[in-house]
Structure 1
Amino acid sequence: MEARLSEAAMKGSVDSLMKILQEEPLILDRTIVSCISETPLHTAAMLGHLHFVKELLTLKPELAAELDFHGAAPLHLAAAKGHAEVVRQLLLADPEICTVRNEDGRTPLHVAAFKGRAEVLSELGLVKPEATRVVTDRGETVLHLCVMQNRLEALRALVEEMGGDDGEIVNWKDSDGNTVLHIAVA
């Protein structure tokens, strides 16, 4: 049954999901309590299957907080892939997931910055503005990550989102003592 659920998530088939749930009404609950590494929501979020994600969140909103074996929530995966609509739905289900760190010490905002997902950064910044101030385990801000990866559009989106920032985050030093400007010059 779990294989069919996984296949439905990969295809984004809401019809298949509903058939599986008719046959096995507790399958989503078992997904939450089992030790599997990924939930169907992880798969659907990563692949950008918006309707499937919405249906899962309607049925089991707590799936949004489940972490895979890398410590990533479905929001990390959707943010990495740039699926802004999926990100929006996940944030509606649980806005606190915006600050959850994966095994690399990165939040979904950090992942989006690293990948240059400007639209996702705007979504995350709107819902949880304080998330823009969370640093990685190496003391890097989202601005550090954008500059390190040469993600100028994402950097622009972040700066606009932050608006009248007091300069603290711009002048923040990572664990090596580098500010965003140091990294840009290097």
Structure 2
Amino acid sequence: MDPRLQQAAQSGSIDKLYDLIDENPYLLENIDAVPFVTTPLHVAASSGNIPFAMEMLNLKPSFARKLNTSGYSPLHLAVDKDKAKFVSRMLLLDKGLVRVKGRNGITPFLLLVSRGKADLVAECLLNSPECIQDETVDRRNALHLAVVHDRFEVLQVLTGWIQRMSQRDADSIEKRVLNKVDIDYNTPLHLAAYNNDHQAYFLFLFNSYFKLYI
């Protein structure tokens, strides 16, 4: 990437962006032609520059789903850098961005679960409920990851949401989420038991009991 473009993305200078486009109209096209590349949107996401990111999405929507050479989308980087406002704004602009699969199959939603960002996890579920079905390459879903990373508050958010959804489609939620086995044939409940995580274990048992009476 042109260092001047990188600096413009870091500082959030939209005027500088257009100066560079005026100098080279194919500036963004050349970046987009590369399969795995750091785009100006990656840089803006890392810096939390919302106005610049919105302008970049206006010009090049494809950048939002482009992975860099490390296997991460712009939203992955925003989560990694703890740019909560940026994540929320991007979710409003395109709710599907939280489901973009990156390295090891991790989506921004699953990364939020792993990092313990309960409020943003709840926001993702409200805007893109299908993300509860997403899983990593080793077939671990959000519940697996919440247990593995000891994120009990996030687990409460996830199971609370599942309870509400179970009132509509109990069997489907049970098969696709609660009883989902990973590559080692472990359900989230199994992992909680193996880790001696009593809070998580009894939370899952409560959910199983709850389902019997809905």
TM (normalized to structure 2)? Answer: 0.74
CA shift at 1:94, angstroms?
Answer: 4.2
CA distance, structure 2, for counterparts of residue 159 and residue 80 of structure 1: 24
Moved more, 115-124 or 53-62: 115-124
CA shift at 1:41, angstroms?
Answer: 0.4
Identity %: 36
In the other structure, the counterpart of 2:105 is 105
Moved more, 124-133 or 23-32: 23-32
Q: How does 1:37-76 map to 2 (within 5 A)?
A: 37-76=37-76
CA deviation map 1:100-132 (0-9, x unaligned): 321312122111111122233223222321111
Match of 2:178 among 165, 170, 183: 170
Q: Which amino acid aligns with 2:181?
A: K
In the alignment, structure 1 residue 13 sits paired with structure 2 residue 13: yes
Q: Is the 8 A contact 1:79 1:120 kept in 2?
A: no
In the other structure, the counterpart of 1:78 is 78
SS of 1:125's equivalent in the other structure is: helix
Moved more, 47-56 or 172-181: 172-181
Unaligned runs of 5+ in 1: none
In the other structure, the counterpart of 2:190 is 182
Distance of aligned partners of 1:60 and 1:89 in 2 relative to their CA distance in 1, 3 Å threshold: farther
Moved more, 59-68 or 30-39: 30-39
In the other structure, the counterpart of 2:24 is 24
Unaligned runs of 5+ in 2: 196-214
In the other structure, the counterpart of 1:3 is 3
Q: Is the 8 A contact 2:118 2:157 kept in 1?
A: yes
Aligned CA RMSD, in angstroms, stands at 2.4
Q: Which amino acid aligns with 2:14?
A: V
CA shift at 1:92, angstroms?
Answer: 4.7
Structure with the higher helix share, 1 or 2? 2
CA deviation map 1:125-171 (0-9, x unaligned): 22321111122121211011111111222223333444333362223
CA distance, structure 2, for counterparts of residue 16 and residue 135 of structure 1: 40
Higher gyration radius (CA): 2
CA distance, structure 2, for counterparts of residue 88 and residue 28 of structure 1: 25
Q: How does 1:135-154 map to 2 (within 5 A)?
A: 135-154=135-154
Q: Is the 8 A contact 1:138 1:175 kept in 2?
A: yes
Q: Is the 8 A contact 1:50 1:86 kept in 2?
A: yes
Moved more, 58-67 or 7-16: 7-16
CA distance, structure 1, for counterparts of residue 41 and residue 154 of structure 2: 26
CA distance, structure 2, for counterparts of residue 79 and residue 101 of structure 1: 14
Q: Is the 8 A contact 1:64 1:93 kept in 2?
A: no
